[in-house]
Structures are given as C-alpha cells and as structure tokens.
Chains A and B, each alone.
Chain A
C-alpha cells in the first residue's frame, strides 16, 4: 500500500531532481562547441576557470547573508509583537503580512525601481533639503532592501509559529522565579523560538542564493548574482559546459553551507531535528 502511494514521489524525484542533476554534471564535464552549446567530453577544464566568476559567488553569498540577517532582525520583532500582543487580531495581522505576496514578484520589485530611482526617494530628500545627490538604485543597499522586502513573510511565519507555541505560563513562571522581562526574553523566549529562527533563516537564505530578478532590477547589472552569471553563460555566451560547472559548484557550496548550518543549529537548539524544523 505504502509502496504504491510512494511511487509518484519516487518518479517525481527521479524525473525532476536526480535526472537534471545528472545531466548538469555530465554537461559540466564536456566542452563548449565552437558555435556555442555542448560538445561531449570528459574533462575538468571548466572547473578550472571557476575563479573567473568569483565576484558573482562572493556577491551572492555576501548579500544573501546580509539580506537574511537584516530580514531576521526586521522579522523577529514583528513576529514577537504579533504573537504576544496580537490578541484576537492575531490571525488577521498575520494574514496582512502575506498580502503583498498576492501581487507578482516582478511588479512588487519593479515598484521599488521607481521608489529608489532618481525621481523617487532621492528627489524627495533633495526637495526637502535633507540630502543632495543620494543614489539608492543600483547599489548593494537596493539589493538588500529588495531581498528583505520580498522574503520577509518567509521569515516572519516560522518565527511567529514558534513564538506563538510558547505557553504564556512558561514566561510567567520565569518572571515569577525572579527573571525580569529582559532576562526572561533571553533565557526563555529566545531559546524556545530558536527552531523558528533556524527554519526562517533557511527558508530565506536558500532561495535568495538563487535570486535573479532582484539583482537585475535593483542592482542594475552592477551587482551580479550567481543567477545572473548563469543566465549570461547559458543565454548570451552559450557556454553550457562552463555554466553547468558553475551551477554544480554552487550547488555543492550550498549543500556544504547547509550542512554546517544544521550542525550549528542543532547545537544551539537541541531537539529541533526531531521536530522536523530543518
């Protein structure tokens, strides 16, 4: 019975996960044919040139990390207020957090192009006499802002769930036993919400690493993510084997990062694996 019901899952994984990865790996070992595309081969020379895409790697990881951390710092207080002060409006307020997701990512991000562009916030700052010649669009700031804005709900939701699950009595017990509000937060609330933080960080960081649209629109070609590098390799220079090598190396890097992260997380919040939060 279970075997029959599991079959679609197995087929799915073989077809859409294992097969593409194998194709990717095979292509990465080939050569670029003279007029672009793939020529079969068995060589590691593509991996030898990975260094030429170092900036894209570095940008992706660096801005991805910064974006995730800022996202966490914005999301945690919001989730905290929702979970502890939301009262009976809790669910409504939580739904409002998700409302921006009802418009497409493209449109939401495009709106920021206008806001951050020269006739947007910089113009406003100038007219108010606050600052002259501010440049916002096409800066790392704009990219991080785009990341935080677009991925915030993914961070808020798991943190909210873990905070909401904490029994009010537990916090009261802490205060009853002599811990003030700050210490109660540090010793009780924060550790007990760690599973939410851990999964929120993962939910934001991993897709951000594959981000393509935000760097294009808000980074304006100055800030190049790996996703942009790959698009160029496949569609502009049509160097498929090198593109495949970059993609493979990147997947490997992400897996290593997640591996380290899980280790660190299970030490910080023991028992989270059993709860299936990772």
Chain B
C-alpha cells in the first residue's frame, strides 16, 4: 500500500456510461475520501451497480475518468486495480474450499508469497470474519451469511485500498442483515480501508455510512453525511426516498436569502428555510418539506407554542392513529395542505392525552424545521399525493 495521503481515495470525474441507448451513469462526479464508508443509495435501475463496476474496472466509462489512490485507472484492467469487490451473489469459486477461495488473491501475487505466510494470512482473514475453523468446508456447505463472510475475507485478504460492495446484504434475512451491518461497520473502522457500499435500502445506508450519495437516473442528486441528507434533503426526490417526509407541493412565490415562500394549489402560503441554489425563480415547482417528528400536534384549536411568526400553525382533523410502540403516528387532513403525517413520542402509558380519529387538532412546526426545496416530480412517490413515504424495499433480483 502506498503511504501518501491519497491512498484509498476514489475520484470519479464526470463519468458517463452508456449501453446502447441507455445512459446508466450520467456525468457523475464523486470524491470518496480515504478510510471512509460511503454509500451509493438509490432506487432500482438508477445506475449504482454500473458506477461501482466502473470503479472496479468491469466496465469502462463512455466518458470521464476514475482515479483510485490518486492514480488514473483509464488503462488499468480490473486485475491490477487496488480495489476489490464483494459481489451481490458472492461469486465464490465453486470448485474450491473456503481456504482456497480466501487465499485466491494471495496466490495471484508476484513475487510469490511463501506458503507459511499464505497460511498465516488465510487464518487471519478467516478469524477476522469469524470463520476460524471453516477452512476445509466447501462453499456450498455454508449458509448465506457464512458465504457472505467468505466473500468478504476473500476480497480483504490482499489488503486493497478500496473495498466495493454491491448490495452485499440483500440476500440475507432481516435479522442477519442487521447483525452484518454492525459487523461490516466495525470491520471498516478496524481496518481503515475505504468502503463504497451500494444499496437501495435507505435505512441501511443511513445507519452504516459516513457519507451517502443519493442517485437517480444515473446522476448523484446529493452527497453528504447521512444526518445532513436526512435533515436537509436537496430536492423532493431525496426527501421522499430517505425516511418519511411531508411534502407540500406548489410553486415558489418569493425567495429572500434563506427563507422562501411556497404557494400550494389550494392557495395556502407556506414559509420555510431555503438552502438550495436551484431555487431562485418565482413560479418554479417547489415544495415545503417537514419531517413528521418535527410537527407538534395538540388537541383543539389551541396553539401549543403560542402565537409566533417563527411558527406555522394549521388546523386539521385526525383520520387515523397508528400505535408504533415508542411512538404514535397520525394521518391528519388539513383543508390548507391536505394529508399530513405526524409522529409523536409516547410519554405516558395508554391512550390518555392522545388525539383520536375524528378529533380536531392543531399542527405546528418551527420555521427552521421546514425546508423549501425544488420539486423534481413525483416519480418516486408511490403513495399519497402529499405524503412521501419511503418506497418499500424492493428485492433486487438482478
């Protein structure tokens, strides 16, 4: 491994990949800093796998270039790139046992690594993924989770600068998946290797990654730490894809510095913070986005926070209440903005003090939790008109 500062970095410069008429990756620029855990997040078919394969060297970009560790990879074939891949379906070598699978990369290195050293590193790699003692097993005698670990050990043994993981957990059941998420994260921190992780599961991306890049139609819409993506989504697509979001769609009325006003089709004017540089011209499609847990719901027409210009208050009536254990979720209808989702922490046992379906309530939120963002269309919103719920995780069967 190189010792300079750029070892382990990945730089994608304006990369485009076309397959015939399909543009799978469209002018992507992305810099992954050494030793970080990055997630590529997006719906099925948005080009995540293709982008990863460009980095691995299985595809060459139609335009643009890839740098790993500061070195241009244009003419470097996949077998000379300092990046290894964990494939979605593991791609273990079926004619080799676990040991020979894991040691494969070592046997390819020239000058040769002597046998005792290979032995030592294979054992070390198997220990690392908690498969000590499984060396003589055959790949087909392992469970999905164990095969996953073998694939991981096999890719890590040659100490690549970068590890590329393409939905490595999607074939596992939910429980194992959560365990593996934690393990992967720990492994990455322990080894300090750069991980680039592809997933269409926003929860997975949020919980594991240092930085999340949200993709759509071959482009990266936003690249930021997960908290930032959650709190300050770049547009309605990101807002909708990541977590649950109330989106009140309309048109931009005014923009003054960091505040902007949106007018809904019903004529309601809503004020929120505006960070986007793409939100300048009045009349353009925009939406006010508020997270359900940021909305305060109180019974009756009383305002909980008292009258204030920094607070938006709406009247609504409750349609449904859903018990979620530590939280309660409401669907409420407001004459001004339509359907609103509200999430309330439960502070007491039972249903005392909770609104019930049919109740009149007041919904309030502070100015700084409401964001005016560009409205990029509703393709991702498969649910209600005004309430964006994250799409159900699709099993990607490739």
Judge whether A177 and B91 touch: CB under 8 Å.
Answer: no
Residues in A181-202 with C-beta less than 8 Å from chain B: 183-184, 188, 191-192
Per a CB cutoff under 8 Å, which of A169, A178, A191, A270 touches B105? A178
Would A175 and B87 be within 8 Å (CB), given that A170-B94, A188-B93, A192-B94 are in contact?
A: no
Q: For the complex, what is the distance from the CA of A174 to the CA of B158, rounded to whole Å?
A: 13
Q: Which residue of B lies closest to A184 (CB)?
A: B79
Q: For the complex, what is the distance from the CA of A167 to the CA of B39, rounded to whole Å?
A: 26
B108 at interface (Cβ–Cβ under 8 A)? yes
Judge whether B108 and A177 touch: CB under 8 Å.
Answer: yes
Q: Write out the residue numbers on chain A whose beta carbons fall within 8 Å of the beta carbon of B80.
A: 178
B84 at interface (Cβ–Cβ under 8 A)? yes
Task: Give the size of the chain B interface in residues (CB under 8 angstroms).
Answer: 23
Per a CB cutoff under 8 Å, which of B78, B94, B109 touches A176? B78
Q: Write out the residue numbers on chain A whose beta carbons fall within 8 Å of the beta carbon of B57.
A: 176
Q: For the complex, what is the distance from the CA of A179 to the CA of B154, rounded to whole Å?
A: 13
Q: How far is the CB of B90 from chain A (nearest CB, A)?
A: 8
Would A178 and B79 be within 8 Å (CB), given that A170-B93, A188-B93 are in contact?
A: yes
Judge whether B77 and A178 touch: CB under 8 Å.
Answer: no
Q: Write out the residue numbers on chain A whose beta carbons fall within 8 Å of the beta carbon of B94.
A: 170, 192
Q: For the complex, what is the distance from the CA of A269 to the CA of B95, rounded to whole Å?
A: 8
Per a CB cutoff under 8 Å, which of B77, B87, B95 touches A173? B87
> What 0/1 pattern do residues 69 to 112 of B give for CB contact below 8 A with A?
00000000111100011010101111100000000110011000
Q: For the complex, what is the distance from the CA of A95 to the CA of B108, rounded to whole Å?
A: 38
B270 at interface (Cβ–Cβ under 8 A)? no
Q: For the complex, what is the distance from the CA of A271 to the CA of B78, rounded to whole Å?
A: 31
Judge whether B91 and A191 touch: CB under 8 Å.
Answer: no
Q: For the complex, what is the distance from the CA of A47 to the CA of B89, rounded to whole Å?
A: 60
Which of A170, A180, A191 counts the most B-chain CB atoms under 10 A from its CB?
Answer: A170
Would A175 and B105 be within 8 Å (CB), given that A170-B93, A188-B93, A192-B95 are in contact?
A: no
Would A179 and B87 be within 8 Å (CB), given that A172-B58, A174-B93, A188-B93 are in contact?
A: no
Judge whether B95 and A177 touch: CB under 8 Å.
Answer: no
Judge whether A176 and B108 touch: CB under 8 Å.
Answer: no
B56 at interface (Cβ–Cβ under 8 A)? yes
Q: For the complex, what is the distance from the CA of A170 to the CA of B92, rounded to whole Å?
A: 7
Q: How far is the CB of A191 from chain B (nearest CB, A)?
A: 5
Q: How far is the CB of B259 from chain A (nearest CB, A)?
A: 50
Q: Which residue of B lies closest to A269 (CB)?
A: B95
Q: How far is the CB of A187 from chain B (nearest CB, A)?
A: 8
Q: Write out the residue numbers on chain A whose beta carbons fall within 8 Å of the beta carbon of B56.
A: 176
Q: How far is the CB of A156 from chain B (nearest CB, A)?
A: 22
Would A178 and B87 be within 8 Å (CB), given that A170-B94, A173-B93, A183-B108 are in contact?
A: no
Q: For the complex, what is the distance from the CA of A172 to the CA of B154, rounded to whole Å?
A: 14
Which of A167, A175, A183, A184 counts the most B-chain CB atoms under 10 A from its CB?
Answer: A175
Judge whether A169 and B91 touch: CB under 8 Å.
Answer: yes
11 inter-chain pairs at a CB distance below 8 angstroms, sorted by A residue, are: A170-B94, A173-B85, A173-B154, A174-B93, A175-B77, A177-B104, A177-B108, A177-B158, A178-B80, A183-B108, A271-B95
**Top 7 closest A-B pairs, CB basis?**
A178-B108, A169-B91, A177-B105, A173-B91, A175-B79, A179-B108, A175-B78
